[in-house]
Every structure is written in C-alpha cells, then in structure tokens.
C-alpha cells in the first residue's frame, strides 16, 4: 500500500512554462480522466496546458506527478485571498 498525496505548487505566472517543463504533470491514464475532471471541478481549477517539452536538466524517474489543474490567485483590491 502506498499513500497518495496532494501538493500545491505555487509559482509566478511568468514561470508557468518552466514549471510545466520540470514537473511534466501529464502521466494520467485515459481511465483516470473522470477522476482528474472531478478533482479539477472540486478545486475550481482549469486544465493544465499541454505540449510543453521536458527540461533535460531535471530527472524524476522515481516520482509520478499527475497534475490536476491550474488556479489563479484571487485578489480583492490589494489583498490576496487565501
């Protein structure tokens, strides 16, 4: 038995492609697509952009990253809402 863990990755919007090239969050199988869609709706996220080539300087052979979605920060005036 292995745990499934959820992590939130926070990064500046200008680094979106760089983060995708490092994490490569595209390892979902087709049969997992309904789970992904349900989690995305639950968290209020948008789909992750596809087609970003992997960064050859990063190696993550022993970790599977499955991206759920992307969600922008919410602001009211100058105050970020957590």
The H or E element containing residue 35 is helix 33-43
CA pair distance 36, 42, nearest whole angstrom: 10
CA angle 24, 63, 2 (to 5 degrees): 135
Q: How confident is the model at residue 82 (pLDDT cuts 50, 70, 90)?
A: low
Structure confidence by residue, pLDDT tens digits, 21-33: 988 887 677 888 8
Structure confidence by residue, pLDDT tens digits, 61-73: 777 788 889 988 8
| Residue 7 pLDDT greater than 80, yes or no | yes
Q: How confident is the model at residue 2 (pLDDT cuts 50, 70, 90)?
A: confident
- Averaged pLDDT score across all residues of the chain: 85
Domain boundaries, the chain: 13-81
């Amino acid at each position: 038995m292995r745990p499934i863990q959820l992590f939130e990755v926070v990064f500046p919007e200008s680094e979106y492609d760089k983060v995708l090239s490092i994490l490569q969050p595209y390892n979902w199988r087709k049969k997992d697509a309904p789970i992904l869609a349900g989690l995305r709706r639950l968290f209020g996220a948008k789909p992750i952009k596809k087609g970003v080539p992997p960064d050859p300087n990063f190696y993550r052979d022993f970790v599977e990253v499955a991206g759920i979605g992307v969600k922008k920060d919410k602001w009211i005036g100058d105050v970020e809402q957590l």
